[in-house]
Homo-oligomer: A and B are copies of this chain.
């Protein structure tokens, strides 16, 4: 073991320390006048109310799930296969859940402080406003990344000690890493509730507040008398801050973990006790935190005229570039010259190239998402154009923009998969994801900056501050909209690559060496998997409607039962409204959540790991497509509607708010809301959570037959090797498989040239028919085993076997005639597949003796 391992939690702690400093700085800023503070106070209280209510429900789930995991940890053997688990996995699960919840808490806490302070800072200068809002975002980013790296790194060190791991390729190490998956499962489960529940919450509050407040009570939007208004503002923080934070916390942890699982399979000689492939992703992500901190130094502007977007881009690109450069030296220092994972050999330089691939994929996904959802670009303009002919054409326009927007991201993703695999096999796919996620702290800082600026603008408007203040917050808000879109692209890309890395890890732990969709049950799994994102989306969309109705009833009740609200004499029960909405959203997401959690368990235990692999592939492909489609359609509709605020030109005529085309665009925006804020982003969690659940159950469903086949293959191989060794390596040179592509003459020459023995050459020659054509593959003598001598002879003639082959076949049949033959006859009537028969047969034979 090497001391470098302690660097990982140290870097996590560094991130958290910087976070604490920045958080304290934000708190110290001026929070403005009493009116502003009151508004901000309501939002902060509402956000805490949401968290409390959510945690109450989630704690029950966590306890039950932890108990189940603890029980599973006591099982040490299934179907004769040893399982490397421990009850400690439940502890890891609880810590993961708590860390994820804490990350959300930190983000919400600082966002609800930074919003009003940004408004106040905007009174002095744009530069200061950007500093406050971006620092708020940085706290969130560093909190998430710091907790993830500290949690993973710290637990890993603890587990190495707890399980007395001395060697990398040992059962103890397997147990340590298997237990660590519990941390990821805990994080991802909380992320599910945060993202899906939050998504339902924010849209329910939005619709509920509008329907009762604006329409029924006739009070303006964001009026403090409306009990649901605070819930609405809270919702922005819940969805865009806490939801996104938990989502990326989950991706970040899962990606590193999947790379570690694959790294454990790589056997290397290095200076780190063979652990370099396991440590690499943690080190890179730890360094990513450092360079994210460095990157924040570049996010600054000179004066009022400076471009805020450029400042953010500067920070983003510099932290990515620095991390990539640092990766080169880390890879070069830690890894040995060549690595080999599951038979795929690659150099350490290629590992670095895979990291670059991941970074590029993330960048392209962000850019494409921005193009399809940005104001003034082709796609949004086409929706504006189609709004002129009515609601229906607006909808059609948005749907087709969403569908078209899948093309480049999917091609990028496919190219990324192929390239990273080409460079470094499955480890390359995983490390590409890790490379992309390394600067998560910076990505999240930029993401969380958006809703903070949004809220700041809202507070400025509600407090009726002077126009130059609103101009500054509007400037930040506009940039925030763009970063929100690019953030979604990044989140989807990260979820997709993470799922693939988990997928690869799952295959390894489940002990299967292929997921063959040519097999009917696997194909069926692929179909069912592809369907899940559709039903999940439908349930999410419906849930928004139902939860909104609950909210409407609560708001009506408060107006009815609490006298004096309308006269500002009584304070509405914001907390109750928030609680109702929280409860409704959590209730409504039970069903989709259950689908994500339970489906892999059912499919895995009933149909086995390969069918589950097909299911996962289906979910991932369909989920990524539906996620991109829905998020981008929703984003494009939103900005098409927003474009009307400044007025748009359609066929030479200007249209503004309240015009007919604007009304059509509002329809599109309303349809797009649950798309982009509820069902679309939920796809990220769906695909990750199903993969991580599969990974956790993988050891319990690993098929014994798979292990047996591996044994049989090895057995065969070793017999060949042994024969080879006896002859002093003759056979190693005489690679007869090459003959398949040669003529008989060529093969004979080949045999002579590489020095095959006469016996070997004769074997090769027997694989050619009378006409000199290669027939080796055709004359499958194994088939003869289950035939009578007559059938076999006919078969040999039909397939064109050589005379030698036919003779050998018949001889074998003869040999099997005794108890072996009878055994085969028994198989014939009772067994479906050859494998099944062979297995039963062995036992039957054994019992006969």
Q: How many Å lie between the Cα of A169 and that of B711 in the bound state? A: 35
Say whether A507 faces chain B, with CB atoms less than 8 Å apart: yes
CB–CB B777/A710 < 8 A: yes
Contacting residues of chain A (81-131) with chain B, CB-CB under 8 angstroms: none
Say whether A602 faces chain B, with CB atoms less than 8 Å apart: no
Residues of chain B contacted by A719 (CB below 8 angstroms): 720, 736, 763
CB–CB A729/B815 < 8 A: yes
Mark each residue of chain A from 766 to 805: 1 if its CB lies under 8 Å from any CB of chain B, else 0. 1100000010111111110110000000110011000001
Of B613, B732, B811, which one neighbours A820 at CB under 8 angstroms?
Answer: B732
Q: Which residue from chain B places its CB closest to the CB of A730 in the assembled complex?
A: B815
Choose the segment among A66-74, A287-295, A396-404 that binds chain B (4+ C-beta atoms closer than 8 Å): A396-404
CB–CB A812/B711 < 8 A: no
Expressed in whole angstroms, the minimum distance between the Cβ of A274 and any Cβ of chain B is 8
Query: A401, A429, A524, A712 — which one has the most chain B CB atoms within 10 A of its CB?
Result: A524
Choose the segment among A227-235, A435-443, A511-519 that binds chain B (4+ C-beta atoms closer than 8 Å): A511-519
Instruction: Answer whether A517 and B392 are a contact pair too, CB < 8 Å, given A407-B535, A718-B763.
Output: no
Expressed in whole angstroms, the minimum distance between the Cβ of A554 and any Cβ of chain B is 18
Residues of chain B contacted by A531 (CB below 8 angstroms): 406-407, 410-411, 625
Say whether A343 faces chain B, with CB atoms less than 8 Å apart: yes
Mark each residue of chain A from 597 to 640: 1 if its CB lies under 8 Å from any CB of chain B, else 0. 00000000000000001100110011011000100000000000
Q: Which residue from chain B places its CB closest to the CB of A506 in the assembled complex?
A: B518
Choose the segment among A41-49, A183-191, A692-700, A831-839 that binds chain B (4+ C-beta atoms closer than 8 Å): A831-839
Residues of chain B contacted by A390 (CB below 8 angstroms): 667, 670
Expressed in whole angstroms, the minimum distance between the Cβ of A659 and any Cβ of chain B is 16
CB–CB A753/B718 < 8 A: no
Contacting residues of chain A (799-839) with chain B, CB-CB under 8 angstroms: 799, 805, 808, 811-812, 814-816, 820, 828, 832-834, 838-839
Expressed in whole angstroms, the minimum distance between the Cβ of A631 and any Cβ of chain B is 13
Mark each residue of chain A from 534 to 554: 1 if its CB lies under 8 Å from any CB of chain B, else 0. 110110011001000000000
Say whether A741 faces chain B, with CB atoms less than 8 Å apart: yes
Q: How many Å lie between the Cα of A776 and that of B786 in the bound state? A: 28
Q: Which residue from chain B places its CB closest to the CB of A712 in the assembled complex?
A: B737
Of B393, B674, B711, B766, which one neighbours A741 at CB under 8 angstroms?
Answer: B711
Say whether A471 faces chain B, with CB atoms less than 8 Å apart: no
CB–CB A629/B534 < 8 A: yes
Residues of chain B contacted by A5 (CB below 8 angstroms): none
Mark each residue of chain A from 466 to 503: 1 if its CB lies under 8 Å from any CB of chain B, else 0. 00000000000000000000000000000000001001
CB–CB A777/B738 < 8 A: no
Choose the segment among A7-15, A313-321, A412-420, A447-455 that binds chain B (4+ C-beta atoms closer than 8 Å): A412-420
Q: Which residue from chain B places its CB closest to the CB of A413 in the assembled complex?
A: B527
Choose the segment among A301-309, A557-565, A570-578, A701-709 that binds chain B (4+ C-beta atoms closer than 8 Å): A701-709
Q: How many Å lie between the Cα of A675 and that of B370 in the bound state? A: 27
Of B514, B523, B537, B805, which one neighbours A500 at CB under 8 angstroms?
Answer: B523
Expressed in whole angstroms, the minimum distance between the Cβ of A338 and any Cβ of chain B is 8
Q: Which residue from chain B places its CB closest to the CB of A710 in the assembled complex?
A: B777
Residues of chain B contacted by A422 (CB below 8 angstroms): 520, 832
Of B671, B720, B820, which one neighbours A729 at CB under 8 angstroms?
Answer: B820
CB–CB A816/B399 < 8 A: no
Instruction: Answer whether A722 and B763 are a contact pair too, CB < 8 Å, given A527-B417, A754-B846, A845-B753.
Output: yes
CB–CB A725/B812 < 8 A: yes
Say whether A735 faces chain B, with CB atoms less than 8 Å apart: yes
Say whether A223 faces chain B, with CB atoms less than 8 Å apart: no
CB–CB A736/B715 < 8 A: yes
CB–CB A724/B815 < 8 A: yes
CB–CB A720/B724 < 8 A: no
Residues of chain B contacted by A778 (CB below 8 angstroms): 714
Q: How many Å lie between the Cα of A172 and that of B792 in the bound state? A: 23
CB–CB A729/B812 < 8 A: yes
Instruction: Answer whether A534 and B403 are a contact pair too, CB < 8 Å, given A169-B798, A754-B842.
Output: yes
CB–CB B396/A671 < 8 A: yes
Q: How many Å lie between the Cα of A808 and that of B776 in the bound state? A: 29
Of B527, B750, B828, which one neighbours A410 at CB under 8 angstroms?
Answer: B527
CB–CB A721/B538 < 8 A: no
CB–CB A737/B725 < 8 A: no
Contacting residues of chain A (259-291) with chain B, CB-CB under 8 angstroms: 267, 269
Residues of chain B contacted by A525 (CB below 8 angstroms): 414
Expressed in whole angstroms, the minimum distance between the Cβ of A675 and any Cβ of chain B is 9
Say whether A644 faces chain B, with CB atoms less than 8 Å apart: no
CB–CB B520/A429 < 8 A: yes
Of B392, B399, B670, which one neighbours A667 at CB under 8 angstroms?
Answer: B392
Q: How many Å lie between the Cα of A125 and that of B708 in the bound state? A: 72
Q: Which residue from chain B places its CB closest to the CB of A535 in the assembled complex?
A: B407
CB–CB B815/A728 < 8 A: yes
Of B345, B406, B520, B526, which one neighbours A426 at CB under 8 angstroms?
Answer: B520
Say whether A245 faces chain B, with CB atoms less than 8 Å apart: no
Say whether A391 faces chain B, with CB atoms less than 8 Å apart: yes
Expressed in whole angstroms, the minimum distance between the Cβ of A227 and any Cβ of chain B is 21
Expressed in whole angstroms, the minimum distance between the Cβ of A602 and any Cβ of chain B is 13
Residues of chain B contacted by A410 (CB below 8 angstroms): 527-528, 530-531
Q: Which residue from chain B places its CB closest to the CB of A778 in the assembled complex?
A: B714
Say whether A733 faces chain B, with CB atoms less than 8 Å apart: yes
Q: How many Å lie between the Cα of A786 and that of B337 in the bound state? A: 14
Expressed in whole angstroms, the minimum distance between the Cβ of A751 and any Cβ of chain B is 10
Expressed in whole angstroms, the minimum distance between the Cβ of A658 and any Cβ of chain B is 16
Residues of chain B contacted by A715 (CB below 8 angstroms): 736-737, 739-740, 763-764, 767, 776
Q: How many Å lie between the Cα of A526 and that of B499 in the bound state? A: 14
CB–CB B391/A528 < 8 A: no
Q: Which residue from chain B places its CB closest to the CB of A617 in the assembled complex?
A: B517
Of B393, B614, B711, B808, which one neighbours A722 at CB under 8 angstroms?
Answer: B808
Q: How many Å lie between the Cα of A674 and that of B538 in the bound state? A: 21
Expressed in whole angstroms, the minimum distance between the Cβ of A550 and any Cβ of chain B is 15
Say whether A32 faces chain B, with CB atoms less than 8 Å apart: no
Instruction: Answer whether A718 and B805 are a contact pair too, CB < 8 Å, given A400-B542, A621-B527, A777-B707.
Output: yes
CB–CB B530/A625 < 8 A: yes
CB–CB B740/A711 < 8 A: yes
Contacting residues of chain A (112-165) with chain B, CB-CB under 8 angstroms: none
Q: How many Å lie between the Cα of A716 and that of B392 in the bound state? A: 65
Say whether A421 faces chain B, with CB atoms less than 8 Å apart: yes
Say whether A395 faces chain B, with CB atoms less than 8 Å apart: yes
Q: Which residue from chain B places its CB closest to the CB of A728 in the assembled complex?
A: B815
Residues of chain B contacted by A816 (CB below 8 angstroms): 729, 732
Residues of chain B contacted by A613 (CB below 8 angstroms): 517-518
Q: Which residue from chain B places its CB closest to the CB of A409 in the assembled complex?
A: B531
CB–CB B718/A766 < 8 A: yes
Say whether A344 faces chain B, with CB atoms less than 8 Å apart: yes
Instruction: Answer whether A517 and B520 are a contact pair too, CB < 8 Å, given A720-B716, A725-B811.
Output: no
For this complex, 25 residue pairs linking A to B, each with C-beta atoms less than 8 Å apart, are A169-B799, A267-B798, A386-B545, A396-B671, A417-B524, A504-B518, A512-B518, A513-B518, A514-B514, A514-B518, A527-B624, A530-B530, A534-B629, A622-B622, A667-B667, A709-B737, A712-B740, A714-B740, A714-B780, A716-B720, A718-B763, A718-B776, A730-B815, A732-B820, A753-B846
Sorted from nearest, which 8 A-B pairs have the closest CB atoms? A729-B815, A711-B740, A712-B737, A421-B520, A392-B670, A403-B538, A414-B524, A710-B777
13 further A-B pairs in the complex, CB-CB below 8 A; given A422-B832, A732-B785, A738-B839: A267-B795, A410-B531, A414-B527, A514-B516, A530-B625, A534-B629, A714-B776, A715-B776, A722-B763, A725-B811, A728-B811, A732-B816, A755-B849
